[in-house]
Amino acid sequence: MKLSELGPEFKTEVMSHKEAEGLNLCFACGTCTAGCPIHEIFYEYDPRKLAKMVKLGMREEVLASPYIWYCTTCRNCEQRCPQNVKFFDILNVLKNMAAKEGYAPHSWIEQTKQIMKNGIIFSITEELKEKRRALSLPALKYNGERAKKILKLTGIDKVKDQGKA
């Protein structure tokens, strides 16, 4: 990678999202990485490195990286950050941007479709209805109509599974 390919544009783009405003406060101490359970078992996933890559302007390398989706959302990174940087939120901003460019994993897109249909991420099958009846649990009456209406306002229904991830 050449120095001339780097620049502040990507950082500015990321920080234009309210959730990522705090990125500038990161001084790369690595407390996030030290507390990250994914990093512990998978060295390549590294919150500090990702924050640095955003600051350097490595747009394509960050957004196309399959690793950004590996986060297990434990939120240790933000919990322990001495600068109160919300890396969890910043990562969500990065994933949102990556999704718009077609990098979202199939599983998350599939879940959204389910919610628009059923209101929840699973189908309510006949088998399940029978299981619930057997345990005297009330029938589930979820319905995706409302969820569909509101999700359409965000454009999430247009996020396409382009098979890049």
Binding residues vs other proteins (CB under 8 A): 17, 19, 37-38, 40-42, 69-76, 78-80, 88-89, 92-93, 95-96, 99, 104-105, 107-109, 111-112, 115, 119-122, 124, 128, 131-132, 135, 137-138, 140-144, 146-147, 149-151, 153-156, 159
Pairwise CA distance, residues 143 & 124, whole Å: 10
Instruction: Compare residues 38 and 56 and give the one whose CB is closer to other proteins.
Output: 38
- Nearest approach in angstroms of CB 56 to other proteins is 24
Backbone angles phi, psi at 91, to 5 degrees: -65, -40
Residue type, 16: S
Instruction: Compare residues 9 and 40 and give the one whose CB is closer to other proteins.
Output: 40
Cβ–Cβ < 8 Å for 30, 48: yes
Pairwise CA distance, residues 115 & 144, whole Å: 6
